[in-house]
Structure 1
Amino acid sequence: MTGDRGPARRLDEARLALMLLTRLPAGRIEGPVPPMSASTWAWPLAGAVVGAIAAFVLGLALVLGLPAPAAAILALAALILASGAMHEDGLADLADGFGGGVTRERKLEIMRDSRVGSYGVIALVLSLGFRAAAIAALVPAGAGWALVAIAAASRATMPAALALMPAARADGLGRAAAGAGMPVLPALAIGIAALLPLGVFPAIALSLAIALAALAVGALALRQIGGQTGDVLGAMQQSGEIAGWAVLLALAV
């Protein structure tokens, strides 16, 4: 093993995180592909990348003279395109499954269905509407870095869920990404570090809000289906993002 294999391995794990959580080009992984669980420390970095793209689009739209609401919608659209809407899809599937299923098996069956039902549509409308309104309202306070910070921090809770929660299915992302030695603490550290430029007190407040939102979704998933799935992770991220924006709005008042 060469001396630079350690950094090269970390780079491969970061590339894998981008491949898993975004639709962005990430280059090629030379040699053995790292296990999915090893890439989870870099999931907040993948969030920071898509958040930076959204922040760039927000700034460009404002420079071109678009009003804040229109700029916010374009920024959110850029974030969703960069991430492939995978977390939004998870939120919609979870809402449909938990809202429309009676038994655990039926809930999981609905969550795997590619069609979106009324519960999923309502969840997406509320999530997108709230986030767009929050971004627009916070444009005067500098919403650009908040896009980066919240996108990173809201993805930092997902490795913890994989490490602490059992998989609800015998297959799928929730099972494939789980593994021993999950780098939970590095992911959390990166997520918190991304929030610090917003200020120490806002960083603490946002960290708590994002963690509590993810915890609430996790507790609901344990009760409803007995564990986590990829859709549960996506709903955790979305809930954390909403909670983060809500706290920033409250602090800005």
Structure 2
Amino acid sequence: MRYQLELFFTALGFFTRLPVPAWVPWSPERLNHAARYFPLVGWVVGGIGAASWLALAQLFPPTVAVLLSMAVTIRATGAFHEDGWADACDGLGGGWDKSQVLTIMKDSRIGSYGTVGLVLMLLAKAAALIELAAAGEAAVAIALLVAHPLSRLASTSLIHTLEYVREDETAKAKPLARRLSTPELAIATTFGCLPLALLAPREAAAVLIAAVAVTGWAARYFVRRLGGYTGDLLGATQQASELAVYLGILAAWNFT
């Protein structure tokens, strides 16, 4: 049990800025095995987002509360996945071949594709959450609690199904370049999908379809362009599937 707790804290320390106990050891191998708990990290991030939204909604109009709660979660994660999304937009938008795409994504500077992509992603998520707020404070909180774990499961599924394509040994995601075992994937799937129980059946179905569609399309596109995934592409998948969850809920409402 202690080893499993250490793996969870390893994942939490890698994907967020939250402090972890000093007694938790770190190694690339532990991070590799910690992939099973990436969706559980989403529980923590989603909980932070939901709690901050509920608190801020008592003080400010929905639009302001949504934007501030987004800022809280971005602060908690250190914009880890947003950075991956921006890098992926730059690389895939500006690169012609695999080598050029990988080189652009590794550049710490943000380009026009990354800037436009990041702005549009943040605006789309904010707009979707503001629309959800029209149904009440609980709707936004539930959406956050569902979106963060499920979107991290989407990224984890790419680790299991695709090949890691960056050969740079210093890459941050290099320790993750190992397929999950069946029990590890089952743990990740459980933590990623369990929050769907918070939704109505129609909403849960729409969310699951949207997330699977986005993840499946991303996987095919990444394989076609690069032959597999990188750490930036995992972050991009998390961002895209998180947005897909919010849009799936809205689509279920409009369909009804």
- TM-score, normalising length: structure 1: 0.92
State whether residues 95 and 119 of structure 1, in contact with CA within 8 Å, keep that contact through their aligned partners in structure 2.
yes
Spell out, residue by residue over 1:11-68, the C-alpha distance to the aligned partner (whole angstroms, 9 max, x if none).
001001101111111213446755222111111111111111111111111111x111
2:141 maps to 144
State whether residues 54 and 76 of structure 1, in contact with CA within 8 Å, keep that contact through their aligned partners in structure 2.
yes
1:3 maps to none
User: How far apart, CA to CA, are the structure 2 residues paired with 1:32 and 1:57?
Assistant: 30
State whether residues 192 and 203 of structure 1, in contact with CA within 8 Å, keep that contact through their aligned partners in structure 2.
no
1:83 maps to 77
2:159 maps to 162
Spell out, residue by residue over 1:118-158, the C-alpha distance to the aligned partner (whole angstroms, 9 max, x if none).
10011111110011111111112421121111011100122
State whether residues 19 and 26 of structure 1, in contact with CA within 8 Å, keep that contact through their aligned partners in structure 2.
yes
User: Which amino acid letter does the alignment assign opposite residue 44 of structure 1?
Assistant: P
Give secondary structure in 1 for the equivalent of 2:152: coil
User: How far apart, CA to CA, are the structure 1 residues paired with 2:24 and 2:128?
Assistant: 41
User: How far apart, CA to CA, are the structure 1 residues paired with 2:3 and 2:145?
Assistant: 25
User: How far apart, CA to CA, are the structure 2 residues paired with 1:56 and 1:196?
Assistant: 19
1:198 maps to 199
Q: Tell me, which stretches of 5 or more residues in structure 2 are unaligned?
A: none
State whether residues 36 and 180 of structure 2, in contact with CA within 8 Å, keep that contact through their aligned partners in structure 1.
no
State whether residues 211 and 245 of structure 2, in contact with CA within 8 Å, keep that contact through their aligned partners in structure 1.
yes
1:128 maps to 122
State whether residues 90 and 231 of structure 1, in contact with CA within 8 Å, keep that contact through their aligned partners in structure 2.
yes
1:249 maps to 250
User: Which amino acid letter does the alignment assign opposite residue 153 of structure 1?
Assistant: L
Deviation at 1:175, TM superposition (A): 3.1
Q: Percent identity?
A: 33
- TM-score, normalising length: structure 2: 0.91
State whether residues 85 and 239 of structure 2, in contact with CA within 8 Å, keep that contact through their aligned partners in structure 1.
yes
- Deviating runs (4+, > 3 A) in structure 1? 29-34
State whether residues 93 and 112 of structure 1, in contact with CA within 8 Å, keep that contact through their aligned partners in structure 2.
yes
CA RMSD of aligned residues (A): 1.6
Spell out, residue by residue over 1:70-125, the C-alpha distance to the aligned partner (whole angstroms, 9 max, x if none).
11101111111111111111111011001111121111000000000110011111
The range that moved more, 53-62 or 21-30, is 21-30
2:222 maps to 221
